[in-house]
Structure 1
Amino acid sequence: MVTVRAIELQDLPALSHLYNELMGTPTNEVQMQKMFRYIQQNGHYYILGAFHEGKLVGSVMGIECMDLVGQCKPFMVVENVIVSELVRRQGIGQKLMLQIERIARDLACGYMILVSGDQRKEAHQFYEKLGFKDEKVQGTGSTLADLVSPADNLQMLVKYTKLLLSNVLCVQGGFIYHACD
């Protein structure tokens, strides 16, 4: 049986192992613990884990973001979706995604967005089955250092805003949208 619950501090070593499977690089566990404590205090982050026979086998993170457009409803960014290769195609990813969507609905989010790398074709098919739509938006690849220039403050602010939008929403080359309403 699989249970989905909030990740706790003692789950971080297993979560680090899952993230290594996702990203292919080890996570700095000391920094991870510091960031986790910050996330717990922030109140806008939701990190869920799927546990099978007491072992962490999947995870998803949702971040509630505030919006100042239209009805000014919040939206949720979904990140770090992973199910261990050992237990894929057993409904675990779907359970995680449905739970994070429930949280988004409870928060009255107007929509959810999900960033996924172009190379993750199988994952994209999974997201599309859940109702997400592939929008194929590309990021610029700029860094914060690129912003330093002799331009006046207004031009710098415009450039900074564009950078944030392109890198936060499209940093890995894929932009997937799902309505919560």
Structure 2
Amino acid sequence: MKVEKAQPQDAAELSRLLSLLLEEETPEETVKDLIEKLSIREEYALLAAKEDGKVLGTAMGVLCQDVCAGARKFLVIENVVVDERSRGKGAGRALMETLEAWGKAGGAYYAILVSGRKRRTGHAFYRALGFQEEKGFRKYF
């Protein structure tokens, strides 16, 4: 298995995976367009875990500039999803470790993520990676 930045040809598989995450369709053309736009922005990492040319999972990292704590950066992790048939085989861990290494190399001093209340398996996964549960809030517009 390898983890690399998502490529335009991965758009169909990423679209399918992202619809599993939110139970809402993300059109393939939208994903392809975003892959191309984000690939030139150094503060974004949209990753794909692949095996034998097939996308097993995806995750996105965004390096944000903090204004306190020495104005260091922090890493926001979003859209972590692994195909149901591929879970438990290391794709999620590989994605998260790659994002963490990328964030550290970019100057991040911590990482944050938000996970839906019902994703208990995901929560156990994040804890196993060293994330601590803290209070968080989200507001949709």
Common topology (TM > 0.5): yes
| 1:66-145 equivalent positions in 2, closer than 5 A | 66-139=65-138, 141=139, 143=141
- CA shift at 1:135, angstroms? 0.7
SS in 2 for 1:136: coil
The alignment partner of 2:11 has SS state of helix
SS at match of 1:42: coil
Counterpart contact for 2:19–2:25, Cα < 8 Å: yes
Q: What is the match of residue 148 of structure 1?
A: none
Offset at residue 142 of structure 1 (A): 6.2
Whether contact under 8 Å (2:74, 2:103) holds in the other structure is: yes
What amino acid maps onto 2:22 in structure 1? M
The code of the aligned residue for 2:105 comes to D
Q: Percent identity?
A: 33
Number of equivalences: 141
SS in 2 for 1:51: strand
Cα distance in structure 2, aligned partners of 1:123 and 1:108:
26
| TM-score where L is the length of structure 2 | 0.93
How far apart, CA to CA, are the structure 1 residues paired with 2:106 and 2:75?
A: 9
CA contact 2:59–2:79 (8 Å) conserved in 1: yes
TM-score, normalised relative to structure 1: 0.73
For structure 1, which runs of at least 5 residues remain unmatched after alignment?
A: 144-181
- Asked whether the 8 Å contact 2:14–2:31 carries over to 1, the reply is no
Structure 2: unaligned runs, 5 residues or longer: none
**How far did residue 36 of structure 1 move?**
2.5
Displacement of 1:124 in angstroms is: 0.4
Shift of 1:42: 2.3
Cα RMSD (Å) = 1.4
SS at match of 2:123: helix
